[in-house]
Amino acid sequence: EIVVADDSGLEVEALGGAPGIFSARYAGENANDRRNVEKLLRELQDAQDRSARFYCVIALAKRGQLMTTVAGEVAGTITKSPRGENGFGYDPIFMPNEFNETFAELTGQEKCNRDPNSRW
């Protein structure tokens, strides 16, 4: 039996790597994307350093033995307000380096070329 598992998160430099593995529930157990984004923006309100990265790890196991792990990341910055209608989660406030648009402003193909979650 083969098992595949993955997890990803947003790491913000000014917050010591938070929200990290708690990205999906950053504003609480029943939080939604909007509330998570609002909390993150409040915490970064006065931050000079808005650098961040999306990080994703996938693990493959067979018969209880870990076979391999693969990691991917994309560096960027957190914008001061949400922009764009595409994507989910923190996409409206995450602007990857080399772009002037947030993930939520990019087309599906453009995001696919940069997002570590879509490279697998």
- The predicted structure's pLDDT at residue 112: 74
Rounded to whole angstroms, the Cα distance separating 53 from 27 reads 19
Answer for the pair 89, 35: CB distance below 8 angstroms, yes or no.
no
* CA trace torsion 52, 53, 54, 58 (10° rounding): -140
Q: Which member of 7, 46, 49, 91 is catalytic?
A: 7
CATH code for position 46: 3.90.950.10
Please write the tens of the pLDDT for every residue from 87-107.
899 999 999 998 899 999 988
- The predicted structure's pLDDT at residue 108: 79
**What rounded mean pLDDT belongs to the chain?**
92
Considering its fold, how many domains does the chain have in total?
1
Place of tokens 């923006």: 41
Rounded to whole angstroms, the Cα distance separating 100 from 29 reads 32
- The predicted structure's pLDDT at residue 14: 98
Answer for the pair 39, 78: CB distance below 8 angstroms, yes or no.
no
- 112 φ/ψ angles, rounded to the nearest 5 degrees: -60, -35
Check pLDDT > 60 for residue 118: no
Q: Which residues constitute the domain of residue 30?
A: 2-118
Q: Which of 77, 73, 86 lies closest to 114, judged by CA?
A: 73
Q: Is 33 a catalytic residue?
A: no
Check pLDDT > 70 for residue 120: no
The model carries a pTM of: 0.85
% of the chain with per-residue pLDDT over 70: 93
